[in-house]
Amino acid sequence: MPEASASPKVTQPAAPDSGMEPPRHVAIIMDGNGRWAAERGLPRSEGHRRGVEALRRTVRAVGELGIEILTVYSFSSENWSRPATEIRDLMGLLRRFIRNDLAELHKNNVRVRVIGERRNLEPEIGRLLEEAEELTRRNDSLLLVVAFNYGARQEIARAAERIASLVVAGAMRPGDVTADVVARHLDAPDLPDPDLVIRTSGEQRLSNFLLWQSAYSELVFVPTYWPDFNRTTLENAIAEYRRRERRFGGLQRVVTP
C-alpha cells in the first residue's frame, strides 16, 4: 500500500467533463486510519483521532461546496469484533466529537441524523445519538447522516422484518412487496440515494455500506488514507464524478448537433 503524503494527489484521467451537475448526496467510507498510523509508527488511536480531524475538515468543505447531504460510515456493525481497547478508544472519540463538535455543527445549521441498529447500544451512547439528532433536527443547511453500528445487509433484513410484520398482520399481501416497498422500509427512506460514494485508502469495495442505495451511485476510490483527506481530495473526487455519465441502466446519451 503506498504511503499517503500530507498533500495527496489523485491522478485524473484526461476525459472531458460530461457537464453533469455536482452531486447532491455524497457518501464516504472513511478508511485507512490504522494504516496511516502504522506507517508512522503511531498507535491506532492516533490514526482515529486524526480521522476525526479529517471529518471536521470534510463537513466544512462539503458545506462550502453546496452539497446537500453527506453520509459517513463511522462505525460498522462488524467493527465490534475489533480489540476491546480499540472499541473503547473509538467510543471515547464519539463521545468527545458529540460533546465538543455538536454545538459548532448546530451553530452552522447542520442537521445530524443517525442510521443503523440502536438496540443493545450502551445507554449513554444511545442518549448521545438522540441528543445530536434532537438538538439539530430543525436545521436545514447541510444534512450530516452518520452510519453508526450500521451494516447494509442488516438494514435490508430489518426492512424485510418490518414488511413481514405487515404481511402477517394482514396489512399487506406478499404480492404487494416491490422494490419501492422495500426502499420505504429502510433506515432513512426519505433521503435520496447517494450520487457519489467515495472510499479512501485505495481499497475498492463497499464493505456492507449502503448496498441498496448505491445500486446506481458513481464509485470513486482514492489512494489517500482518511486522516489525510482534505478539500482538494474531495474536489478531485467530485471532478471525476462530473466526468462520468449516469445512465441508470439505460443507453448512453446522444448529443445531436
pLDDT in tens, 112-151: 999 999 988 889 899 999 999 999 999 999 999 999 999 9
How many CA within 13 A on the CB side of residue 235?
Answer: 11
- Cell 445531436 sits at which residue? 256
Annotation says 31 is catalytic: yes
2 within a domain of the structure (yes/no) = no
Residue 66 is predicted with a pLDDT of 95
Look at the block and give the residue holding cell 470513486. 220
- Please give the grid coordinates belonging to residue 49: 483521532
Residue 92 lies in a domain: yes
Q: For residues 160 and 91, which has the higher predicted lDDT (pLDDT)?
A: 160
Supply the range of the domain harboring residue 218. Answer: 25-151+193-243
- What is the count of structural domains for the chain? 1
Confidence of residue 252 (pLDDT cuts 50, 70, 90): low
Please give the model's pTM, rounded to 2 decimal places: 0.87
Chain centroid offset of residue 50 CA: 18
CATH number of the domain encompassing residue 44: 3.40.1180.10
Would you call 79 a catalytic residue per the annotation? yes
Q: What is the pLDDT of residue 95?
A: 85
Model pLDDT, residue 251: 56
Q: Smallest Cα–Cα separation from 95: which of 128, 118, 47, 122?
A: 128
User: Residue 15 above 60 pLDDT?
Assistant: no
Mean pLDDT for the stretch of residues 34-54: 95
pLDDT single digits (tens) 73-117 = 998 888 888 888 888 888 888 888 888 899 999 999 999 999 999
Residues 31, 89, 195, 228: which is the catalytic one?
A: 31
Residue 75 within a domain = yes
* Residue 142, domain member (yes or no): yes
pLDDT at 36: 97
State whether residue 115 is helix, strand or coil.
strand
Query: Mind listing the pLDDT tens digit for each residue in 163-192?
Result: 999 999 999 999 999 999 999 999 999 999
Residues in contact with 45: Cβ distance below 8 Å, sequence separation at least 6, in sequence order: 37, 86, 89
Assess whether pLDDT exceeds 70 at residue 11.
no
Is the residue at 135 inside a domain?
Answer: yes
Q: What is the pLDDT of residue 97?
A: 82
Is residue 169, in this structure, part of any structural domain at all?
no
Residue 103 lies in a domain: yes
Q: Would you say residue 218 lies in a domain?
A: yes
The helix/strand/coil state of 84 is helix
Residue whose C-alpha cell is 446519451: 253
Q: Tell me: pLDDT of 257 over 50.
A: no
pLDDT of residue 181: 98
Check if the beta carbon of residue 163 is closer than 8 Å to that of residue 180: no
Q: What is the mean pLDDT of residues 198-218?
A: 97
Residue of 17, 33, 79, 108 marked active site: 79
According to the model, what pLDDT value does residue 81 have? 82
